[in-house]
Amino acid sequence: MSRYGMAIDTKRCVGCMDCVVACKVENQVPEGFCRDWITQALSGVYPTLSTEIRSERCNHCDRPPCVDCCPTGASHLHDRGAVVLVDAKLCIGCKACLASCPYGARFIHPQGYADKCTFCIHRVEEGLEPACVAVCPTRCMHLGDLDDPNSEVSRLLASRKSHSLLPEAGTGPRIHYLE
């Protein structure tokens, strides 16, 4: 089974939020919510400061706590790419998955079920890129199979220094930020 992940180039990302808008349009994300967002992290002490702009979303973790804690099986791993998905017809809206996610990637859809990024698996299954990847004007985002050493994502991660978010949480995030 493949294992989809993302490599996001923080040297290219300009924080234009095209990815956020594209996701909202493609997935009809209700007003006031978003499945992906832009974070600007400034670190260091003046004058040696560094800024990282990055597009964040569900990390589709290797050990997803949201799947483990779900009492109905609504949160599950998709056969293709081991992508973490939510089946709205099974979700009771207990919010255990929201509490279990160290990335705050989930929200409760106004219709009552937990919602989040799907890596646009409906597009990927048709051979398309996720909406956020497709519209990025700087081409800073890449989706691919982390288990395939020849995928673009694997090659980028092998050739560039990268980091993931909160590896300390132990969930095995599959989004990597190229430095």
For residue 168, count other CB atoms closer than 10 A to its CB.
7
Angle (CA) 124-25-96 rounded to 5° is: 75
- Residue from 1, 25, 128, 166 in contact with other proteins (CB under 8 A): 166
Tokens 């279990």 identify what position? Answer: 100
Residue closer to other proteins (CB basis): 89 or 126: 89
83 to 102: interface string for other proteins, x by CB under 8 A: ------xxxxxxxx-xxxxx
Quote the tokens at residue 59.
Answer: 């990390």
Quote the tokens at residue 20.
Answer: 């956020």
43 to 82: interface string for other proteins, x by CB under 8 A: xxx----x-x-x-x--------x--xxxxxxx--------
> CB of 175 within 8 A of CB of 61?
no
Distance CA 82, CA 126 (A): 17
Q: Smallest distance from the beta carbon of 150 to other proteins, in angstroms?
A: 28
* Residue 14 makes contact with other proteins by CB under 8 A: no
C-beta pairs of 148-154 under 8 Å, 24+ apart in sequence:
148/2, 152/7, 153/5, 153/6, 153/7
> CB of 153 within 8 A of CB of 130?
no
- Residue from 16, 121, 156, 169 in contact with other proteins (CB under 8 A): 169
Residue closer to other proteins (CB basis): 59 or 151: 59
- Residue from 16, 17, 121, 156 in contact with other proteins (CB under 8 A): 17
Q: Smallest distance from the beta carbon of 117 to other proteins, in angstroms?
A: 12
Q: Which residues bind other proteins (CB under 8 A)?
A: 17, 20, 32-34, 37-45, 50, 52, 54, 56, 65, 68-74, 89-96, 98-104, 106-108, 111-113, 163, 165-170, 177, 179
